[in-house]
């Protein structure tokens, strides 16, 4: 327990270091923690049209025989929609009502009525039933206290919990731009390896696989990518041109704009047995 406490303290501290200094965030009207719903929707559509990768494979295999799915931090459905062919029932939890609307529309188009619960996990855990498979993709870097979060995932899974996250913090790719525009050195941790150590210390004996998810044109235009990046960097609209130039210098392709985050980066699939008997 002492080791687990040390690991959890380090995780919380490293995530806390990502806070943006108040003098930078207060200088602009736009929130840097932008959630571009249209980008999440395009990504969900792309992954649903051509499911692949270890995260999908693990969850799909666990749904034989067919079973229910609970998707936590579901967004527009990138994790759960590809599983509908083996799903007997779908529950989705997310704090953003607009995201849940996007997911529900897409599930309905495939003949499935999704039960959508707006709320934060694990606070919303009491509002949802257990499921055969629990998915949770690209959420854990937003969780300063992973132990109760993970425990609630486990307590809601009969067969398997499948999570996916980038190997390093998804916004780390923007670190050079923070240095360029603000002279600010951003953190480099925590990492998926740190979470695996926490899961081991919790006694979950997780399996994991590191792989590379192919990137995709999740942004409708380079201007859209530029605008989202500008907001993330706490820069005003009149500096959009500078951001566009910096993105090109950093390797962004204006003809195929992909997110400077989880899209196309090294990811880790992590899974462990459910706790429902």
In the chain, % of residues over pLDDT 70: 97
Using CA atoms, how far apart are residues 157 and 18, in angstroms rounded to an integer?
Answer: 31
Using CA atoms, how far apart are residues 248 and 239, in angstroms rounded to an integer?
Answer: 15
Q: Which residues pair with 91 in a beta bridge?
A: 70, 115
CA nearest 159: which of 77, 78, 71, 59? 59
Q: Which element (helix H / strand E) includes 235?
A: none
Helix%, strand%, coil% for the chain, nearest 5: 45, 20, 35
Mean pLDDT of 201-226: 91
Residue-wise pLDDT tens digits, 116-157? 999 999 999 999 999 999 999 999 999 999 999 999 999 999
Using CA atoms, how far apart are residues 46 and 72, in angstroms rounded to an integer?
Answer: 20
Q: Is the pLDDT of residue 262 over 70?
A: no
Mean pLDDT for the chain?
94
Q: Is the pLDDT of residue 194 over 80?
A: yes
pLDDT reported for residue 267 = 95
Residue-wise pLDDT tens digits, 46-59? 999 999 999 999 99
> Is the pTM above the cut of 0.85?
yes
What band does 192 get if pLDDT is binned at 50, 70 and 90?
Answer: very high
Virtual torsion, Cα 259, 264, 268, 274, nearest 10 deg: 70
Mean pLDDT of 222-248: 95
Residue-wise pLDDT tens digits, 64-96? 999 999 999 999 999 999 999 999 999 999 999
């Amino acid at each position: 327990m002492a080791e687990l406490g040390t690991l959890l303290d380090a995780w919380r501290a490293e995530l806390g270091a990502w806070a943006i200094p108040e003098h930078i965030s207060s200088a602009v009207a736009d929130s840097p923690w932008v959630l571009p719903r249209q980008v999440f929707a395009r990504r969900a559509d792309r992954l649903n049209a051509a499911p692949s990768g270890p995260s999908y494979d693990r969850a799909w295999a666990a749904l034989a025989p067919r079973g229910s799915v609970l998707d936590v931090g579901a967004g527009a459905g990138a994790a759960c929609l590809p599983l509908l062919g083996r799903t007997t029932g779908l529950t989705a939890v997310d704090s953003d009502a607009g995201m849940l609307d996007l997911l529900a529309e897409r599930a309905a188009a495939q003949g499935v009525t999704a039960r959508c619960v707006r709320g934060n996990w694990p606070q919303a855990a009491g509002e949802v039933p257990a499921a055969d498979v629990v998915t949770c993709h690209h959420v854990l870097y937003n969780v300063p206290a992973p132990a109760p979060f993970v425990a609630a995932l486990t307590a809601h899974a009969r067969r398997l919990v499948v999570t996916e996250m980038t190997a390093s913090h998804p916004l780390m790719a923007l670190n050079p731009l923070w240095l360029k525009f603000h002279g600010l050195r951003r953190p480099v941790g925590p990492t998926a390896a740190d979470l695996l150590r926490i899961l081991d210390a919790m006694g979950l004996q997780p399996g994991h696989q590191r792989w590379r998810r192919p990137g995709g044109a999740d942004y409708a235009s380079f201007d859209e990518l530029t605008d989202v990046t500008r907001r993330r960097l706490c820069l005003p609209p009149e500096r959009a041109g500078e951001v566009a130039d910096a993105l090109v210098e950093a390797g962004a392709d204006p003809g195929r704009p992909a997110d400077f985050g989880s899209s196309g980066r090294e990811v880790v699939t992590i899974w462990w047995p459910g706790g429902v008997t």
